[in-house]
Amino acid sequence: MPKRIANAAVTYDLVWQMGITLPGVEKSITWGSPALKVKRAGKMELIACIPTNKAAEPDSLLVRMDRKDRAAMIAESPDLYYAPDHYLSYDGVLVRLAHLTPELAHDLLAMAHRFVTRKRKK
């Protein structure tokens, strides 16, 4: 189970500050909610946001990733990661901020950045 570092609470503000340090990432809005996006192929692509669907728990973050890897992440750390039915068709996982450390937040954002900006097979 992930442990929380004392005095190292991860907030949305910290997530946005970390995110904009990644190449080409900007703070934006998606579904009326704060988000981080990166320019790819001439358009802005989502890498993380505050989920707005009622299936998401409060104080969660949606992080883009390959959905093929999501089940393993949830199985390894179910207190940290989850995916309600509404989000199963999305390339992403929901993350509970209460269980997130700054180091892991940075790693997840970097993973999401790589996922969104990777070269896709045609």
Q: Is the pTM of this model over 0.75?
A: yes
Dihedral over Cα of 98, 100, 102, 108: its sign:
negative
For residue 5, being part of any structural domain is answered with no
Number of domains comprising the chain? 1
Domain boundaries, position 91: 12-117
CA dist 40 and 7 (Å) reads: 36
For residue 122, being part of any structural domain is answered with no
Average pLDDT of the residues in 100-121: 92
| Selected residue with higher pLDDT from 3 and 100 | 100
For residue 56, being part of any structural domain is answered with yes
C-alpha count within 13 angstroms, C-beta hemisphere, residue 31: 10
Tell me the C-alpha to C-alpha distance, in Å, between residue 96 and each of 39, 55, 87.
26, 13, 15
Q: What is the pLDDT of residue 94?
A: 98
For residue 43, being part of any structural domain is answered with yes
